[in-house]
């Protein structure tokens, strides 16, 4: 059986003019697995290097990540300082460097596990380092913080950050910028704001990246006054002598556009130009999307022309927004023209492009055109997704064409496209409209079998369907049962629910038996 060999020259040995060594990584791994520390120490002595370099070699090879079990990795961390270091430190060359070895190994292990995306083990290393009173480097801790944020382990991130400060592991600007990102991602904007003040107490000045991170946090949040706070932060950074860059303006413009205030976003575009900052494709895409969502397609087209005149190359995202704008206004010929225009710009329309046009045609009742675009996307090598089928099912549902719906469902099954909540809600709506309540209820049961959780809309549709069907008393009882099932599943009634109860039940003299779940339904 062949073995993986890796040759290396230890930096310390090279500095002293010593010979290079060849270490059998597979053998080292096997000894660690069997916990034969004495034999491992002999290999280290023969290699003329130290355990720190053995560990670097081990983790860089990838063998440790794939071979060592989690308990053994923990054992490796616990045992190396005591099992390996004595033999290493007994060599005269290394006298005087012993206090630094434990933290060095811990740091190396931490970075290796983060590099291999083994975040849980990295957290364990971080904690064990605290038990040994090893002071880890800011660098390794920064990597750990960033890794935890990337995988949305935000509670763990906050715990590690707080522990860093408690252990007096000196944070740097990267630490604080990473932490700002973590707190913003967790929605803890007040804590992020406090951290901006704490940065200064460490003798560190926030940069444009710090402010951009906090501004982005406010723009992306669902909290009231978020854009007012973002605007205040912009003014604050300018007063502190930190000038906004393109990313700053892009973040704020995107925030206002998503908030339905493209007019305010356009004012920031003007301010951006006054400061001699050149808008990029991200700037224009945000504005064009915002304008189209508000029905201002002509202004969006004007911006497209402006970006082209400034040699800013539009992307498929740009054209998707404009196509969507025209589709929302029912201007399908214009939407189709911009679809063709994507090819003239050497861009490939994606599934979103086709779905947008299909939705537009379905809303206009032009199902033949919708089917034509579904065929075209297949010819261009793009497979319809569940959204494609959902909008077509809805379109045929509006026309009462149940045969076409059945054909689409068969096609979904053949292509392995799995129905989602929207699919079921659309089908249940169509069946209730046709008076097929038994089939609609069967679909509700099927949803549970498929692992899908019905929403308020699912129950509202079914309740309304029962209420509007003949045989009033029996169907009102059925609607009442659905209401209670909805409540038992932890779904909170919304305005649609209250309207069904009030208009279809109470006003017909039926008082639902809901055991006090709903308060004042007359509100």
C-alpha dist (Å) from residue 53 to 23, 28, 41, 122, 468: 10, 12, 13, 19, 77
Beta bridge partners of 23: 6
Tell me the Ramachandran region of residue 7: left when phi exceeds 0, alpha when psi lies from -120 to 50, beta otherwise.
Answer: beta
Q: 365, 333 in Cβ contact below 8 A?
A: no
pLDDT at 516: 57
Q: Which residues contact 386 (CB under 8 A, 6 or more apart)?
A: 412, 417, 418, 419, 420, 422, 423
Q: How far apart are CA 147 and CA 468, in angstroms?
A: 54
Q: 94, 17 in Cβ contact below 8 A?
A: no
pLDDT at 58: 58
- Do strands 5-8 and 21-24 pair parallel, antiparallel, or not at all (unpaired)? antiparallel
pTM, to two decimals = 0.75
pLDDT at 32: 61
Backbone angles phi, psi at 186, to 5 degrees: -80, 0
pLDDT at 296: 96
pLDDT at 42: 72
Q: How far apart are CA 258 and CA 261, in angstroms?
A: 7
pLDDT in tens, the chain (523 residues): 323 222 222 333 333 334 334 667 677 667 665 656 567 667 766 766 555 566 555 555 554 445 555 555 555 554 444 433 433 333 323 323 334 456 777 787 888 889 888 899 899 889 988 888 888 899 999 999 999 999 999 999 999 999 999 999 999 999 999 999 999 999 999 999 999 989 999 999 999 999 999 999 999 887 667 889 999 999 999 999 999 999 999 999 999 999 999 999 999 999 999 999 999 999 999 999 999 999 999 999 999 999 999 999 999 999 999 999 999 999 999 999 999 999 999 999 999 999 999 999 999 999 999 999 999 999 999 999 999 999 999 999 988 899 999 999 999 999 999 999 999 999 999 999 888 888 999 999 999 988 999 999 999 999 998 888 765 566 788 888 888 889 988 898 899 988 888 888 888 788 788 765 554 444 4
Q: Which residues contact 310 (CB under 8 A, 6 or more apart)?
A: 278, 279
Q: How far apart are CA 242 and CA 143, in angstroms?
A: 27
Q: How far apart are CA 106 and CA 157, in angstroms?
A: 19
């Amino acid at each position: 059986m062949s073995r993986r060999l890796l040759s290396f020259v230890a930096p310390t040995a090279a500095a002293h003019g010593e010979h290079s060594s060849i270490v059998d990584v597979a053998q080292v791994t096997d000894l660690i697995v069997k916990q034969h520390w004495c034999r491992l120490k002999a290999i280290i002595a023969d290699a003329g290097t130290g355990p720190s370099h053995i560990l670097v070699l081990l983790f860089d090879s990838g063998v440790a990540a794939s071979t060592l079990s989690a308990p053994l990795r923990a054992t490796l961390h616990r045992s190396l300082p005591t099992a390996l270091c004595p033999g290493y430190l007994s060599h005269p060359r290394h006298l005087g460097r012993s206090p630094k070895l434990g933290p060095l190994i811990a740091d190396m292990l931490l970075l290796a596990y983060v590099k291999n995306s083994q975040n849980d083990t990295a957290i364990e290393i971080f904690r064990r380092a605290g038990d040994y009173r090893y002071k880890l480097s800011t660098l390794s801790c920064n990597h750990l913080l960033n890794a935890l944020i990337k995988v949305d382990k935000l509670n763990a991130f906050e715990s590690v950050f707080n522990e860093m400060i408690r252990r007096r592991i000196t944070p740097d600007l990267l630490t604080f910028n990473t932490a700002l990102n973590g707190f913003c991602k967790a929605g803890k904007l007040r804590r992020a704001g406090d951290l901006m003040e704490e940065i200064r107490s460490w003798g560190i000045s926030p940069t444009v990246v710090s402010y951009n991170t906090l501004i982005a946090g406010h723009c992306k949040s669902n909290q009231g006054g978020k854009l007012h706070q973002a605007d205040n932060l912009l003014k604050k950074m300018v007063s502190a002598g930190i000038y906004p860059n393109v990313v700053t303006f892009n973040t704020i413009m995107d925030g206002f556009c998503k908030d339905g205030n493209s007019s305010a976003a356009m004012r920031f575009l003007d301010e951006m130009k006054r400061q001699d900052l050149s808008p990029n494709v991200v700037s224009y895409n945000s504005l064009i999307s915002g304008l189209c969502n508000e029905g201002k397609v002509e202004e969006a087209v004007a911006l497209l022309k402006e970006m082209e005149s400034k040699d800013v190359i539009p992307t498929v995202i740009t054209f998707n927004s404009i196509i969507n704008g025209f589709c929302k206004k029912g201007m399908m010929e214009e939407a189709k023209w911009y679809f063709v225009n994507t090819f003239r710009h050497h861009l490939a329309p994606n599934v979103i492009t086709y779905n947008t046009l299909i939705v537009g045609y379905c809303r206009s009742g032009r199902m033949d055109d919708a089917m034509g675009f579904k065929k075209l996307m297949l010819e261009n090598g793009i497979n319809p997704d569940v959204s494609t089928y959902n909008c077509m099912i809805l379109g045929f549902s509006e026309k009462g064409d149940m045969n076409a719906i059945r054909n689409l469902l068969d096609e979904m099954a053949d292509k392995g496209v799995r129905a989602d909540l929207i699919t079921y809600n659309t089908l249940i709506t169509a069946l209730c409209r046709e008076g097929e309540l038994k089939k609609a209820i069967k679909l509700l049961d099927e949803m549970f079998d498929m692992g899908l959780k019905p929403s308020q809309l699912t129950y509202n549709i079914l309740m309304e369907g029962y209420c509007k069907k003949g045989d009033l008393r029996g169907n009102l009882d059925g609607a009442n049962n659905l209401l209670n099932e909805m409540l038992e599943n932890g779904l909170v009634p919304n305005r649609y629910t209250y309207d069904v109860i009030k208009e279809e039940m109470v006003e017909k003299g039926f008082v639902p038996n809901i055991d006090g779940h709903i308060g004042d339904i007359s509100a």
